[in-house]
Structures are given as structure tokens and as C-alpha cells.
């Protein structure tokens, strides 16, 4: 990377790291969390504060900004300082310093593992994307970049309003805003821009939310076991080696909010497991407060992630309930029967609720289920058997076509680890969770039946969303199996030799994963979403001419004015790239009458006063034109903007800025 790119990446990562860690660590401290728990939960707690604060300020009509966030963080600092002073009065300072140094020495291997994983994630991501300032040219990516830019422009960061940027309808326009708030604040703090901030936040979330969350989950599962520390270190390393997550969703969608929510799942799962093991009531109260905040983060990142968490955690909860039932049945039969009936009631309630949600979402009263989920990724293009093999071989399908090559070492190790879990409790429930996720993935990827649609409809029958859940299970299982293997080996050979063999084995697994064919294919798939071409007729949103025009746009268009253009040729990205609001910030939407008027009749502005009236109300004086269109403009939804695309050739449009085939026109028809 050039010096400029290194500067952008470094400054952006420092900003994203501060935003993800500082508020969350302060909240963790106030909630009594320490060590790995505090670090792993800092990201979700920060997101809960930021996204929740966005709703509060939006409801009060107060502008969301870096200054407002700084005031909230300052309040947390004051509260933490008061608590710290109180605690230091009750504990000798020398003892506290000694305890801190001892804890730091014990945590050093894990800190190194976190650093290695962060470097690996950053290297893989930058190698795939190239320049962080390149735009993610996918259908979903356009909306998310515009949404983050809208927060900077409007100061409204409320999840209750965010969908309103392309959905002009009365009532609450809910869309989870945690990702967009994070990107907007990172861009504002670092000055790197919304586009670069998006790529940088992907790296930061992977390194500071996903990896520590996996480590915390592993630590929780092995609580009290002597091999726990080694397993936690291994899990932190392996969390960066799975192409399925955190990298697959960067090439599909691109599903930024879903990725953020999935990155939070391990820490949420760890909190649920902890809740079944705490002995003191005070600890349970603190845990409940932290979980409530985690739940806010998950809901405002993407609420549908909770369905994935539910599938994974359901076997654990049922196993715990079965343990209670067995322990109580002989002594307190009435209580045992109460637990049984309550469990059956909850299962029935979940089933009914799921059926109700599916019926509402897919309007099953008006159209049969067979008429839904028949397009895009929901269509099965392979068989059930092939889908199961892909999940077992850690070889996901790629959005660009084909399947990523298997990672043999990891695939074999995952299967062995599941066998170890099955043979040696107490975490057999993880195997059941794995089977459930694989089954759902196989149904989504390999069947078009109504049953498959019902089973996977909560995930839009999207195979990518489902297979991305697997590493939540496989990474802790794999770490556990590896350290158990080291333990068995140390019984037969000297401990030093066992540790050396164990370290070499982990190193081989990491290297073959980071540099193997599977990760190379994943990098190529991600790169295709950010590729820049010089052909104006290429089927991409932005070509090289578009980039040059967008780079100069703010020198011509005054601050505060909107730009109209066909969103399928890149005009939707003037907000994210050039800080000038587009009339159409996404490829599709529910538009108001003025937008519909200019969408369909802009070319008649010189003879149609109604068009000029609409342009005046929208405060629009410039037209963005480019011949390049996403997917070649062949999508049926793109046809709705055909008249807008052709408007540049009509009378009353004067070119004021040109970059090859991309042109910015001033609308003079209404002068």
C-alpha cells in the first residue's frame, strides 16, 4: 500500500478501535466485568450505547454527532472514576498493582493471539479489497453506505427513522442502525470518509468483536478446566482462519448489519451459558444487566441474528432443563412436572410465534408459500448431499459462482473435534447445534420444497446467512479438541515435545487456512465487489470515469444541494463518496410524489412546469449521468429509471463537469 493508504487505514483503525472499545470498557467496568469478559463484551456494549443513544437523540430531535457521543462518554468516565476511587479506598494500592501485573503476564499469550488474528484479518481484507476507499458495488452495500452518509448529513441516527432514506411512507421506518452509526462516527472522528470507514469497521469488528467473543465463549465452555487457557488462545487464532466467517458476508450482499450481528453472537452465547453456572445472586443480576445491553446491541445490529442464536443455544437450554428435570423428578415431582410443562409451553409458543412471523412476512393469507422465496439466493441450485458436504468441508459456495476449495486440514480437524465432543461430554449439545445449522443450510441450498421454505424462511432461505453461523460452533469445538489432543499426547511423551507438536500442528492449520485455496477464492470473490474497470459499458455500478467524476463533484455542487441521477449507474453514491445527497440514495424504494415525477418525466423539464416545481421542492439543480449500470441495467427494477437515464440528451441540460463518459449536467431547463 502507498503511504496515503497506510495513513487512511491506520487513522481509521485507531478511530474505529476507540469507538468500539472505550465506551464498552467503561460500561464493563461499571458492571463489574474484568479481564477477557470486559474486553470481549466491550464492542457489543459500545454498540448498544451508540445505537441506543441514536434513538434517544432522534426522538428528542437532537443532532447525533461526535460531540454528543463525547458528552455521553465523558459521563461514563466520571461514573467510572467515582467507582474506581471508592474501590481503591477499600483495597490496598500495592495489592492492586501486583494483581494487575500478574494478570497481565498470564494474559500475554492471549494478547499475542488477538494481535496475530487482527493482523491476519486486516491483511486478508485489504488484500481482497485493495484500496479501502473503493466502493462496495453490491445491491445491499449501496443502501448501507448511503445510510451511514445520511447520519453525517442529517444528524439522525435513530433506528426508528433510518429506513426513511428510501422509504417515504408514514409511520416508523425501522432499520437497525448500529452498523451505520459505527461507520458514521468512525468517518467523522478519523476524517477518512464513509466508504473507507466501512471497510475499516469491517476489520475492526472482526478483530475486536468476533475474535474476543469466540475466545470468551471458549473460556466459558471450559470454565474450571485446566486446559482452558490454551484452548482460549487457540480459539482466538482459529477465529481468523475460517473463510466462512468473517469473510463470506463481505462478498455476499454485502450484508454489513448481518455481519455485525453475527460477530456479536459468540459473546451473547457465552453470557447465556454463564447464566446457568453463576452461584451468587449479585453475579446473576450483573449478568442480566450486561445481557440486556447485549440484546440491545443485537437488536439494533440486526434482530434476525437472534434466530441464529436461538438455533445454536436451544440444545444447550433443553439439555439444562433436562438436567433439572432429572434431578428434581425423584424428590420434588410437582416442580419437575412444572418445568416439563413450562418447557413444552415455551416450545409451543416459539413454534406459534415463528408461524405467525412467517405468515405476516410472506403474506401467506394472500399467496401460498410455494409462490415465495423463488428468486436469487433462495433458489436451490444443487442437491442436499452436496450442501451437507460443503458445510462439513468448510467449502462454502461463492457468490461469483462455484464453490470455494475445501480446507482439508481444518475440515478434518472439525470433524474430529465434533467426534471428541460427542465421546467426551459435557458439551455434546454443541454437536446437536452443529447438526441443526448444517441441516438448515442444506435445506436452504439444496431444496425448493415448501418444508425447506418454512424451515429457513426466517433467514430468507439464504444459504449464505446460514452457513456463516457454523464457525460460532466449530471454532470453540476445534480449540477444545486440539488441547485435549495435546493433553493425551503429553501422557505418552515428554511435556515439552507434546507442546512442540501441538504448536506445530496449530501453526500448520493456521497457515493452510490463511494462505490456502479456500481463502484465496474468498479474497477473489470479495475483490469482485470492489473491482474498478475502465469500460463504460461494463456491468458495474462505478467505472473509472465515475470515480474521477465523484472525486470532483463537491467542487461544483454547493453544500446542501441534492443531485439527481439513475441510482443504477452510481448516482446513488454521491452521498457516500462526495458528501452530496442524491435524490435516489438506493436502487429501489418507496418514493414520494416529487421523486416519482422527476424519475419519470425529468427529460420534459423544458416543457413541463410540474417537473420544475418538483425539482424546486427537492432543491435539485444537477443531473449525474454515466453509461455504466449495475448488472448492465438489465434488472427489471432498473427499467423504472430508463427515462431518467435518457434525460441527459433532452433540451435544458448543460454539462459542467466531465470525466470521460461520466458527466455532471446543470439543469437549465427551469432557469
Q: What is the DSSP string of 61-98?
A: T----HHHHHHHHHHHHHHHHHHHHHHHHTS-HHHHHH
Between CA 544 and CA 322 the distance in angstroms is 61
Between CA 522 and CA 129 the distance in angstroms is 11
3-class secondary-structure state, position 402: coil
Q: What was the pLDDT predicted at 2?
A: 58
Between CA 468 and CA 200 the distance in angstroms is 20
> What is the signed CA dihedral for 282, 288, 293, 296, rounded to 10 degrees?
-170
At what angle are helices 35-59 and 256-275 packed, to 10 degrees?
A: 130
Between CA 168 and CA 89 the distance in angstroms is 57
Give, for 147, the enclosing helix (H) or strand (E).
helix 139-154
Kindly report whether the global pTM for this prediction surpasses the value 0.85. Answer: yes
Residue appearing with cell numbers 499426547: 489
Burial of 56 (0-12, 13-18, 19+ CB in 10 A): middle
Mean pLDDT by 10 residues, the chain (671 residues): 73 95 94 91 97 95 92 91 75 55 79 94 92 90 95 94 90 92 96 94 97 96 80 92 91 92 97 84 83 96 94 90 71 68 78 77 72 80 90 87 82 82 80 94 92 88 94 90 73 71 77 86 91 72 90 91 92 93 94 95 92 94 90 84 91 92 92 82
End-to-end CA distance of the chain: 47
Q: Are 322 and 200 in contact (CB under 8 A)?
A: no
Between CA 573 and CA 150 the distance in angstroms is 11
Between CA 148 and CA 182 the distance in angstroms is 8
If one counts every other C-beta atom within 10 angstroms of the C-beta of residue 616, the result is 12
φ, ψ of residue 493 to 5 degrees: the values are -130, 165
Give, for 624, the enclosing helix (H) or strand (E).
strand 620-625
Q: What is the DSSP string of 206-240?
A: IIIIIHHHHHHHHHHHTTT-TTHHHHHHHHHHHTT
CA atoms within 13 A on the CB side of 589: 29
C-alpha cell at 93: 494500592
If one counts every other C-beta atom within 10 angstroms of the C-beta of residue 66, the result is 16
Between CA 99 and CA 570 the distance in angstroms is 56
Between CA 500 and CA 486 the distance in angstroms is 10
Those residues whose C-beta lies under 8 Å from the C-beta of residue 172, and which sit 6 or more positions away, are 160, 161
Between CA 564 and CA 18 the distance in angstroms is 36
Residue appearing with cell numbers 473463510: 243
Q: What is the DSSP string of 626-649?
A: -S--GGGG-SGGGGGGHHHHHGGG
C-alpha cell at 268: 451473547
C-alpha cell at 643: 427515462
Q: What was the pLDDT predicted at 630?
A: 84
Q: Are 340 and 86 in contact (CB under 8 A)?
A: no
Those residues whose C-beta lies under 8 Å from the C-beta of residue 304, and which sit 6 or more positions away, are 258, 261, 458, 459
C-alpha cell at 513: 487456512
3-class secondary-structure state, position 582: strand
Between CA 637 and CA 171 the distance in angstroms is 25
Between CA 423 and CA 369 the distance in angstroms is 41
Between CA 130 and CA 141 the distance in angstroms is 17
Q: Are 605 and 670 in contact (CB under 8 A)?
A: yes
Q: What was the pLDDT predicted at 25?
A: 95
Q: Are 601 and 643 in contact (CB under 8 A)?
A: yes
CA–chain centroid gap for 567, Å, is 24
3-class secondary-structure state, position 394: coil
* Strand 562-565 to 620-625 pairing: parallel
Q: Are 312 and 472 in contact (CB under 8 A)?
A: yes
Q: What share of the chain is helix, strand, coil (3-state, %, to 5)?
A: 70, 5, 25
- The CA distances from residue 93 to 29, 88, 89, 106, 561, in Å, are 18, 7, 9, 20, 59
Q: What was the pLDDT predicted at 1?
A: 47
Beta strands across the sheet bearing 653-659: 562-565, 620-625, 662-667, 653-659
Between CA 669 and CA 611 the distance in angstroms is 10
Q: What is the DSSP string of 417-439?
A: HHHHHHHS-S-HHHHHHHHHHHH
Between CA 293 and CA 301 the distance in angstroms is 12
C-alpha cell at 497: 515435545
Closest to 550 measured CA to CA, from 621, 625, 452, 600: 625
DSSP one-letter code for 247: I
DSSP one-letter code for 245: I
> What is the signed CA dihedral for 503, 504, 507, 511, rounded to 10 degrees?
180
Q: Are 411 and 241 in contact (CB under 8 A)?
A: no
Between CA 431 and CA 437 the distance in angstroms is 10
If one counts every other C-beta atom within 10 angstroms of the C-beta of residue 530, the result is 24
Give, for 507, the enclosing helix (H) or strand (E).
helix 495-514
Amino acid at each position: 500500500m502507498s503511504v496515503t493508504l497506510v495513513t487512511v487505514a491506520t487513522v481509521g483503525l485507531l478511530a474505529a478501535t476507540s469507538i468500539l472499545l472505550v465506551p464498552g470498557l467503561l460500561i464493563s467496568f461499571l458492571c463489574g466485568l474484568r479481564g477477557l469478559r470486559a474486553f470481549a463484551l466491550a464492542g457489543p456494549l459500545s454498540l448498544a450505547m451508540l445505537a441506543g443513544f441514536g434513538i434517544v437523540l432522534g426522538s428528542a430531535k437532537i443532532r447525533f454527532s461526535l460531540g454528543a457521543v463525547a458528552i455521553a462518554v465523558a459521563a461514563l468516565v466520571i461514573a467510572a472514576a467515582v467507582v474506581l476511587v471508592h474501590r481503591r479506598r477499600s483495597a490496598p494500592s500495592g495489592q492492586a498493582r501486583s494483581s494487575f501485573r500478574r494478570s497481565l503476564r498470564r494474559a500475554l499469550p492471549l494478547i499475542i493471539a488477538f494481535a496475530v488474528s487482527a493482523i491476519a484479518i486486516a491483511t486478508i481484507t485489504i488484500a481482497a479489497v485493495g484500496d479501502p476507499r473503493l466502493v462496495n458495488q453490491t445491491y445491499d452495500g449501496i443502501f448501507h453506505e448511503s445510510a451511514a452518509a445520511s447520519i453525517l448529513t442529517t444528524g439522525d441516527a435513530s433506528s426508528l427513522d433510518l429506513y426513511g432514506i428510501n422509504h417515504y411512507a408514514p409511520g416508523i421506518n425501522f432499520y437497525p442502525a448500529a452498523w451505520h452509526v459505527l461507520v458514521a462516527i468512525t468517518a467523522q472522528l478519523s476524517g477518512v470518509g464513509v466508504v473507507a470507514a466501512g471497510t475499516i469497521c469491517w476489520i475492526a469488528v472482526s478483530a475486536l468483536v468476533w475474535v474476543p467473543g469466540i475466545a470468551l465463549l471458549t473460556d466459558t465452555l471450559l470454565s474450571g478446566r485446566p486446559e482452558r487457557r490454551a484452548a482460549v488462545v487457540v480459539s482466538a487464532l482459529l477465529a481468523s482462519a475460517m473463510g466462512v466467517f468473517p469473510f463470506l458476508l463481505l462478498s455476499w450482499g454485502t450484508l454489513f448489519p448481518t455481519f455485525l450481528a453475527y460477530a456479536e453472537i459468540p459473546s451473547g452465547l457465552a453470557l447465556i451459558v454463564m447464566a446457568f453456572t453463576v452461584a451468587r445472586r449479585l453475579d446473576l443480576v450483573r449478568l442480566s444487566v450486561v445481557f440486556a445491553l447485549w440484546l440491545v446491541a443485537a437488536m439494533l445490529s440486526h434482530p434476525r441474528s437472534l434466530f441464529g442464536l436461538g438455533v445454536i443455544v436451544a440444545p444447550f437450554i433443553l439439555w439444562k432443563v433436562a438436567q433439572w428435570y432429572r434431578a428434581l423428578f425423584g424428590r420434588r415431582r410437582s416442580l419437575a412436572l412444572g418445568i416439563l410443562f413450562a418447557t413444552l409451553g415455551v416450545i409451543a409458543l416459539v413454534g406459534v410465534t415463528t408461524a405467525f412471523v412467517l405468515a405476516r412476512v410472506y403474506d401467506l393469507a394472500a399467496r401460498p408459500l410455494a409462490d415465495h422465496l423463488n428468486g436469487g439466493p433462495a433458489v436451490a441450485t444443487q442437491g442436499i448431499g452436496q450442501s451437507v458436504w460443503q458445510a462439513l468441508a468448510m467449502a462454502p459456495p461463492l457468490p461469483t459462482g462455484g464453490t470455494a476449495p475445501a480446507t482439508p486440514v481444518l475440515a478434518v480437524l472439525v470433524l474430529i473435534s465434533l467426534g471428541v465432543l460427542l465421546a467426551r461430554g459435557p458439551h455434546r449439545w454443541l454437536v446437536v447445534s452443529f447438526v441443526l445449522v448444517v441441516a438448515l443450510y442444506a435445506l436452504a441450498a439444496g431444496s425448493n420444497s415448501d418444508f425447506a421454505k418454512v424451515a429457513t424462511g426466517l433467514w430468507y432461505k439464504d444459504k449464505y446467512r446460514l452457513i456463516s453461523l457454523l464457525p460460532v460452533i466449530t471454532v470453540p469445538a476445534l480449540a477444545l479438541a486440539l488441547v485435549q489432543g495435546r493433553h493425551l499426547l503429553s501422557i505418552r511423551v515428554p511435556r515439552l515435545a507434546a507442546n512442540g507438536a501441538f504448536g506445530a500442528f496449530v501453526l500448520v492449520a493456521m497457515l493452510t487456512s490463511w494462505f490456502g485455496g479456500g481463502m484465496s477464492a474468498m479474497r477473489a470473490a470479495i475483490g469482485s465487489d470492489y473491482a474498478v474497470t475502465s469500460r463504460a459499458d461494463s456491468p458495474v455500478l462505478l467505472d473509472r470515469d465515475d470515480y474521477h467524476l465523484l472525486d470532483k463533484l463537491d467542487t461544483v455542487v454547493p453544500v446542501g444541494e441534492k443531485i439527481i441521477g439513475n441510482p443504477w449507474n452510481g448516482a446513488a453514491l454521491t452521498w457516500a463518496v462526495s458528501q452530496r445527497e442524491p435524490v435516489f440514495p438506493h436502487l429501489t424504494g418507496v418514493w414520494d410524489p416529487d421523486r416519482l415525477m422527476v424519475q419519470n418525466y425529468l427529460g420534459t423539464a423544458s416543457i413541463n412546469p410540474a417537473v420544475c416545481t418538483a425539482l424546486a421542492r427537492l432543491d435539485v439543480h444537477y443531473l449525474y449521468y454515466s453509461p455504466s449500470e449495475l448488472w448492465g441495467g438489465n434488472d427489471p427494477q432498473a427499467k423504472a429509471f430508463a427515462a431518467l437515464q435518457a434525460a441527459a440528451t433532452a433540451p435544458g441540460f448543460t454539462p459542467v463537469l466531465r470525466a470521460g463518459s461520466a458527466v455532471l449536467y446543470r439543469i437549465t431547463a427551469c432557469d
